[in-house]
Amino acid sequence: MSTHLRYGIIGCGSMGREHIENIQAMPVADGGAGVTAIADPHGPSRDAARALCRGEPRVFADPRELLASGLCDAVVVATPNHTHVAVMRDALATDLAILVEKPLVTRIEDGVELVAREAERRRRGVRAIVWVAQEYRYMPPVAEAIRMTHEGAAGRVQQVTIREHREPFYPKVGDWNRFTANTGGTLVEKCCHYFNLMDLIVGERPLRVFASGGQRVNHLDEDYGGRRPDILDSAYAIVEYPGGARAMLELCMFAENSVDSEHLTIVGDEGKIESLLPSLTLRYGRRADWGRRAVWGEPSGTGRGVSVRRVWDTAIRYPGHHFGASYLEHLRFADAVRHGKPAEIPLDEGLRAVATGLAAHRSIDEGRAVALSEILPAGA
């Protein structure tokens, strides 16, 4: 394969166009990259994507025509959530590298099918990677918090908390994201990357989930031919891990009047690490004597003994809408494609994040803790 990577974009909505911007910002020193083909059945989305592209990409209405065109080395799947499975069936029948947007699927059985199809693809001798886009872990202060945690800066992780206070869902073509049948539910659509991040930080697979949530404020007065939106706008979800660590998500989608809309806290037995966005702030403090004796360090609430710094990655050439995270993920994806490295976020990991979100929705619906074994088949 040439070091210059030719990309096809399947799905030219807002996220597909974001991928185009990221790809075109990639450095040319290692061969560079370009978008050679785009596909979307929606004409205005195709036109908007084409206008962003340098050169003249081939334009297709049908993704299968793009996949068969021979114009691409890698494809990005950024279609609506519920369509991923159909597009991925066709993509996995090729030998192209694939970057598929989160959430991987909206139903567990579809994800299990895709994992099996990829395994069969490898048995056929295809070595091209399949990577689930989970950009949150690449946001600079988040990535630094993860690095510090894995190096033991906080000791053994005991609690992880992620809070997102933000605006409602953005408009999409046909408002497809107003309905759980299309999205998988808010805790899948919006939050699967948080659940993936929890797993990464704790270093274990989730055991059970207990959640509470509802649709309290947003979209209550909308009507689509007699159909009312059924997506949640607020929730709490607690995830338990086999080693005893716990993680909690707090989501509110009618709280846009926030300074830092996303707040990650990692607490271990020896310290605490916090990442705040969009201020790009990282806070870190270590417990005096690690709390192993009845001797306190600095009093809580004083801020003494806590270091505060702004974290950025100077490699970022296009910050986009995700604090440069999508750009950094693209760099790593391209490096893996060029050098035969494995995907950092394989299909089974993306599926597990979806399963945690589905378990949280079942917990809300049934008012009980839900084991991941109820959602994911054994061995998945």
Cis ω before 278 (30° cut-off from 0): yes
Q: Does the residue 379 lie in any domain?
A: no
- According to DSSP, residue 35 is labeled E
Predicted TM-score (pTM) of this structure: 0.94
Name which of 86, 62, 89 is nearest 8 in CA terms: 62
Backbone phi, then psi, for 5, in 5-degree steps? -95, 130
d(CA 260, CA 4): 38
Is there a single domain that holds both residue 58 and residue 161?
Answer: no
Q: What is the largest CA-CA distance in the chain?
A: 69
Tell me what pLDDT residue 87 has. Answer: 98
CATH code (residue 79): 3.40.50.720
d(CA 288, CA 284): 13
Is there a single domain that holds both residue 174 and residue 86?
Answer: no
d(CA 49, CA 107): 29
Give percent of the chain above pLDDT 90.
90
Q: Is the pLDDT of residue 47 over 80?
A: yes
Is there a single domain that holds both residue 158 and residue 296?
Answer: yes
Is there a single domain that holds both residue 215 and residue 362?
Answer: yes
- According to DSSP, residue 181 is labeled H
Tell me what pLDDT residue 298 has. Answer: 64
SS3 label, residue 71 = coil
Structural domain of 306: 136-321+355-372
Is there a single domain that holds both residue 163 and residue 213?
Answer: yes
d(CA 118, CA 77): 15
Neighbouring C-alpha atoms within 13 Å toward the C-beta of 110: 17
Q: Is the pLDDT of residue 364 over 50?
A: yes
Is there a single domain that holds both residue 150 and residue 239?
Answer: yes
Average pLDDT over residues 256-266: 96
CATH code (residue 282): 3.30.360.10
Q: Does the residue 350 lie in any domain?
A: no
pLDDT digits (tens, 9 = 90+) for 29-42: 777 899 999 999 99
Q: Is the pLDDT of residue 294 over 50?
A: no
Is there a single domain that holds both residue 141 and residue 130?
Answer: no
Neighbouring C-beta atoms of residue 213, cutoff 10 Å: 22
pLDDT digits (tens, 9 = 90+) for 143-174: 999 999 999 999 999 999 999 999 999 889 99
Is there a single domain that holds both residue 64 and residue 81?
Answer: yes
Number of domains in the chain: 2
Is there a single domain that holds both residue 88 and residue 110?
Answer: yes
d(CA 198, CA 177): 24
Is there a single domain that holds both residue 99 and residue 240?
Answer: no
β-sheet with 58-60: strand ranges across = 58-60, 33-39, 5-10, 74-77, 97-101, 130-133
Is there a single domain that holds both residue 170 and residue 78?
Answer: no
